[in-house]
Amino acid sequence: MSNTITHTSGNHDLKRVRRSVFTLIELLVVIAIIAILAAMLMPALQQARERGRTNNCLNNMKQLGTATLMYADSFKGYAPAVQQYYPGAASRQLWNNVLVKENFLRVSNVFYCPSQYPGSALWPHTDANWSYWTYGMRPQTKSGADYQDRHFRVNAARVSDLCSGKEYSPSKFFLFSDSVKTTDANKSQCNLFFTAIIHANKIHTRHGNYANMWFADGSARAAELASIVEMGCLEDQVYRF
């Protein structure tokens, strides 16, 4: 009888060990399944995050455009120049400083694309941190160096561009765009971009091969390379990397 009890106890111990081993295997299988699912879902999560950044970028464009149209309403239909005389300033002011000084925009991250700089706020408390701009303005220029104090009349039926020598309907004329200074190590410092002149400051298709743009009809939308070229930009002035 004593031997039987001992034998039975041994079977229980064996079953307990087997049950523990089986539970460990189950746990490892569950962990493996979770890891596989996470790997499958990660690209989708990253894409969803990028879509959110792209939408935030478009909202930034709309804010820039709304401020520009308000400025134009106050200045005979003309948008700010890339760089222009400003009363009381010691030097010519860049376009974003003009919009802030005229109280059409407040100091914020509106000048920075979240896909290019997804981190924390980049603006100081006093003035524009031009070293990190990621949106540029199209200059009104003939030579590429004479854009000071030259303005586009954005509320006209046709917008005249001195650089290309063409006129565009407001829905085809983009004033602001995702942009990049290709000679800068951080791909930043870009307050303007050129379209019909080969230059380091280019349009940047950073959103899945699309660039967000603001048009003189008040719309903000994404455009890919072919449509950007069709709207009067040299292909070499579109940065796709």
Residue-wise pLDDT for 8-34, tens only, equals 555 555 455 555 556 778 788 888 888
DSSP type of residue 192: B
- Residue 126: what pLDDT? 44
What confidence tier does 223 reach under pLDDT thresholds 50, 70, 90?
very high
For the chain, report the end-to-end CA distance as a whole number of angstroms.
Answer: 82
80 pLDDT above the threshold of 80? yes
pLDDT of residue 125: 41
Instruction: Report the alpha-carbon distance of residue 96 to residue 145 in Å, rounded.
Output: 19
4 within domain boundaries: no
Q: Amino acid identity of 138?
A: R
Whether 191 maps to a domain, the answer reads yes
Q: Give the Cα separation of 136 and 203 in Å (integer).
A: 8
Residue 48 is assigned to a structural domain of this protein: no
Mean pLDDT for 39-44 is 73
143 within domain boundaries: yes
Structural domain tally of the chain?
A: 1
State the average pLDDT for the chain. Answer: 84
57 domain residue, yes or no? yes
Domain annotation covers residue 187: yes
Q: Which two tokens mark 156?
A: 């006209």
Q: What is the pTM of this model?
A: 0.79
pLDDT at site 124: 47
Report the DSSP beta bridge partners of residue 93.
Answer: 84
Confidence of residue 51 (pLDDT cuts 50, 70, 90): confident
| pLDDT confidence tier of residue 130, bands split at 50, 70 and 90 | low
Examine the pLDDT at 7 and tell me if it is beyond 70. Answer: no
In the structure, what pLDDT confidence band is assigned to residue 226 with cuts at 50, 70 and 90? Answer: very high
Say which amino acid occupies 110.
V
Range of the domain at 117: 53-239
Q: Which of 213, 94, 233 is nearest to 163 (CA)?
A: 233
Return the SS3 of 55: helix
Q: Among candidates 131, 76, 132, 124, which has minimal Cα distance to 100?
A: 124
